[in-house]
Structure 1
Amino acid sequence: MSEFTFFYLFAGLILISAFMTITVSNPVHSVLFLILVFVGSAAVLLLMEVEFLSLMFIIIYVGAIAVLFLFVVMMLDIKLSSSNNNYLRYLSIGGFLGFLFFVETYYLVETSVFAPQVDSSLVLESSYQDWITRLDTLTNMECLGQFLYTYYFFHFLIAGIVLLVGMIGAIVLTLHVNHTSKNQLICKQLSRQVKNATFLTTIS
C-alpha cells in the first residue's frame, strides 16, 4: 500500500469521526469519536514525517484534553438529550464552510499531486553522497530534545510544576469527603501495642 492510500484512509477516518462527534446524542460517545479524530490527525502528521507534532497530538490532545473531557462528562452525569435538534438551521452555514474547505483542498491537491511531472531520463543528477552531512543531520525530535533538556530545562521544570499544581487543585475541588463513613486512622493503628490490643474476658 502506498503513502497516498494510507493518507486517504486516515483522512476518511477523520472526516467520519468528526461528523459523528457533532451528530451523536451521547456525550461520552462524542468524546470517544473526538479522540479518534485526534488519533487520525496524528497518523496523518506521522505520514508527513512530522514526528514531534504527531506525538504532541497523542500526548496533549488525546492523553490530556480528550481524557479530561471524558472525565468531566462522566462526573457531571449529563443526561442523554433526545435527538430532536433541528440540524437544518445550521445546514447553510455548514454547507458554506464545507464548500470553502473543499475548494481549498482541491486547489492544494491539484497543484501538488497532479502537477506536471518532469521526465527523469532528461534530468542529470549527481550520484555524489555527502555521508558526513547525512550522518550529522539531526531529526526534529533530536533537535527539540537537545534544546528542551539543555537550554530550556528550567522552563520545562516550571511547566511540570504548574501542571502538577493544576492536577492537585482539580483533585481537591472534586474530592467529596464523607465524615459519616468509616475510615482508617493509620497513625492510631500503627501506634497500637499488645497490652492495649489484647483483652481477656471471663465468660460466666
Structure 2
Amino acid sequence: MDITTALFYIFSAILLGASFRVITARSTVHSALFLILAFFTASCIWMLLKAEFLAITLVLVYIGAVMVLFLFVVMMLDINSDNVREGFWKHLPLGALVGTLIALEMAAVLMGGFRLSEAPQTTEAALKLGNTKMLGISIYTQYLYPLQIAAVLLLVAIIAAIALTLRKRKDSRSQDPSEQVKVQKADRLRIIKVAPTVEAAPAAESAPETGAKA
C-alpha cells in the first residue's frame, strides 16, 4: 500500500465519521462545524484524485461562504434542536437501511472508480494544459448543452424563490419612476409672496441716530 492509498482511506474514514456526527450532534453549532470538517476532508480526497479545481472550489465556496452563512444564521437564531430531534432514534433503523441501500447502489455504479490502481493515465497534452483548463474545455465543448440546461434550471429556481418570498407590506414606501418623469418644474417648486408682519423702520430716521452714537 502506497502513501496515496493510505491517505485516501484515512480521509475517507474522517469524512464518514464527520458526516455521522453532523446528524447525531446535539448542538447545531457542532453539527455545522462537523460539516465543515466533512467538506475539508472531501476536498483533500479530490486533491488525491488530481481534481485540484474542484477541491479549491469546495474550500472557497462551501467552507468559505456557505458554512459561514450557516454558522451566522444558527448562532443568531439560537434554535432549540431538542424538539426537532425528538424521535431520532425511533427512525434510525429505517434511515440506516435506506442509507445502506443508497451506498450499495452508488458502489455498484461507481465500482470501477474505486480501484485506484486502474486509474487512467494522463496524456502529455493534458499535463501541459492543466486540470482547470481541461475541465473548462470539456464543459464548454462536450457538455455545453447540459451546462445551459443546468443554468436555466438554476435561474428558474432563483425566480421561484423570489416569487415565493415576495410580500407587499402596507408600511413600505416606494416611488414610481414614471410618475416622477411626468412631474413639471412648477409642481416641485412654488414661490409664494407673504406680506411682512412687522413694518421696518424708515431709513432716513435711522441714519442720524447711528451717526450720533458714532
Which TM class, normalised by the smaller chain length? 0.5 to 0.7
- State the alpha-carbon separation in 1 of the partners of residues 19 and 142 from structure 2: 39
Aligned equivalent of 1:192? 183
Q: What's the RMSD between the two structures over aligned residues?
A: 4.7
1:46 aligns with 2:47: yes
Deviations 1:134-160 (A, max 9, x none): 642445544432232124323322321
Secondary structure of 2:44's counterpart equals helix
- State the alpha-carbon separation in 1 of the partners of residues 144 and 40 from structure 2: 29
Matches within 5 A, 1:20-99: 20-27=21-28, 30-51=31-52, 53-54=54-55, 57=58, 62=62, 70=70, 79-82=79-82
CA offset at residue 22 of structure 1? Answer: 1.9
Deviations 1:17-76 (A, max 9, x none): 43441233444653453243123211222133233553575588x38xx66x949x87xx
Aligned equivalent of 2:150? 159
The amino acid across from 1:82 in the alignment is: D
Distance 1:200 1:3, change over 3 A: farther
Q: What's the % identity of the aligned pairs?
A: 28
Larger C-alpha radius of gyration, 1 or 2?
A: 2
- State the alpha-carbon separation in 1 of the partners of residues 170 and 14 from structure 2: 49
Secondary structure of 2:171's counterpart equals coil
Aligned equivalent of 2:202? none
- State the alpha-carbon separation in 2 of the partners of residues 162 and 134 from structure 1: 35
Tell me if structure 1 keeps the 8 A contact 2:126–2:134: no
| Unmatched 5+ stretches in structure 2 | 101-115, 117-121, 198-214
CA offset at residue 163 of structure 1? Answer: 1.0
TM-score (norm 1): 0.52
Tell me if structure 2 keeps the 8 A contact 1:11–1:44: yes
CA offset at residue 169 of structure 1? Answer: 0.9
CA offset at residue 166 of structure 1? Answer: 1.1
Tell me if structure 2 keeps the 8 A contact 1:25–1:80: no
Distance 1:196 1:152, change over 3 A: same
The amino acid across from 1:136 in the alignment is: A
CA offset at residue 13 of structure 1? Answer: 5.6
TM-score (norm 2): 0.50
Distance 1:175 1:36, change over 3 A: farther
Match for residue 172 of structure 1 among 138, 160, 163: 163
| Unmatched 5+ stretches in structure 1 | 98-111, 113-132
Query: How many residue pairs are counted as aligned between the two chains?
Result: 161
The amino acid across from 1:41 in the alignment is: A
- State the alpha-carbon separation in 2 of the partners of residues 160 and 36 from structure 1: 29
